[in-house]
Amino acid sequence: MNHLRQLMIEELQRRNFAATTIRTYVKGVEDFSQYFHRRPDQLGPEHIRRYQAMLFSKRKFSPNTVTLRLASLRFFYIKVLKRNWSIAETPYPKKVIRLPQILSQEEVARLIDAADSPFHRAMLMTLYGTGARRVEAAHLKVEDIDSRRMILHVRGGKGRKDRDVMLSPALLDALRQYWRGLKPKPKQWLFPSRQSNRADRPMSDKVFWHACKQAARKAGIDKPIHPHTLRHCFATHLLEAGTDLRTIQLLLGHSDLKATTLYLHLSQRHLQATASPLDALTLSDERK
């Protein structure tokens, strides 16, 4: 299994897959192997069928998560084992698209004010002020802050793409306050690991998740909140303020404008601007 695992990692690296994708794909194949207590190269289509059914029936995974598990197995069998893969025998489940949870601007302000420390406050403000994904925020470098042009550089985002986003004066001020409290000053990472033996590495992106959860609990916000919630809020609030979809697409780093149109379903400004046809009907007063 160790040999197969290394082969898979090498094949993923050869194709320049992101580190998070590599971890997810390897974990998927390892879980498949552990479920049957056999090496994955000793398993076949019938095992994949049973595994897929189990993910739905026993583990109650979402269709999108099951699709990701199947994608990891498909890559392993085709690229590593050089075997055929039948789409007919292993159909991907129908994708489910759900609208994300959105906070009002007042709720975002409460969330940020409830941060446990200036460190967490700077993290939350960075997520909301730039729309960055948590992995992107965790890998920001000191040199990525361009205070002269008021630009923040997001490097190596999803799809290995760089992009620039606005640097809010409020965010710049918060980052400076956070920076003044750091000892010693980090040489590279804006949010370095707090472990003394790993200070030369970026903060784990899981810390952003915990910062959101702790602040939400302290602020008394009972909605499910995670770092991506602030990214959705960033885009939705920009749209409600009149920013065009194309600009939001560029700020978010979306390859396809279609992905950005999701926020039309979330923007109160756009929803309330459209009258329901019910209001055009002349109805009798049923209370008579």
Q: How confident is the prediction along the chain (288 residues), in pLDDT tens digits per residue?
A: 689 999 999 999 999 888 889 999 999 999 999 999 999 999 999 999 999 999 999 999 999 899 999 999 999 999 999 998 887 788 888 887 788 999 999 999 999 999 999 999 999 999 999 999 999 999 999 999 999 999 999 988 787 789 999 999 999 999 999 988 888 888 889 998 877 656 678 888 899 999 999 999 999 999 999 999 999 999 999 999 999 999 999 999 999 999 999 898 888 887 777 788 888 888 887 665
Tokens of 62: 């979402």
Domain contains 90? no
Domain contains 69? yes
Domain contains 231? yes
Task: Name the helix (H) or strand (E) containing 145.
Answer: strand 145-146
Locus of tokens 């049923």? 286
Residues 47 and 130 in one domain: no
Pairing of the two strands 145-146 and 151-154: antiparallel
Residues 134 and 49 in one domain: no
Full-model pTM: 0.81
Residues 13 and 131 in one domain: no
Residues 128 and 61 in one domain: no
Domain boundary among 65, 80, 95: 80
Domain contains 25? yes
Beta carbons within 8 Å of 269's beta carbon, 6+ residues apart: 239, 240, 242
Domain contains 288? no
Domain contains 7? yes
Residues 53 and 118 in one domain: no
Residues 110 and 70 in one domain: no
Burial class from Cβ neighbours inside 10 Å (0-12, 13-18, 19+) for residue 231 reads buried
Instruction: Look at residue 229 in the predicted model and tell me its pLDDT.
Output: 96
Domain count, the chain: 2
Beta carbons within 8 Å of 104's beta carbon, 6+ residues apart: none
Q: Which amino acid does the sequence have at 39?
A: R
Residues 8 and 60 in one domain: yes
Q: Is 242 left (phi over 0), alpha (psi -120 to 50) or beta?
A: left
Residues 52 and 118 in one domain: no
DSSP state, residue 40: G
- What is the biggest distance separating any 2 CA atoms in the chain, rounded to whole angstroms? 80
Instruction: Look at residue 89 in the predicted model and tell me its pLDDT.
Output: 80
Which range of residues forms the domain containing residue 14? 2-80
Residues 23 and 123 in one domain: no
Residues 258 and 115 in one domain: yes
Domain contains 97? no
Active-site annotation, residues: 133, 158, 228, 231, 254, 263
Residues 219 and 170 in one domain: yes
Residues 157 and 250 in one domain: yes
CA distance 187 to 236: 35
Q: What is the domain-level CATH number for residue 122?
A: 1.10.443.10
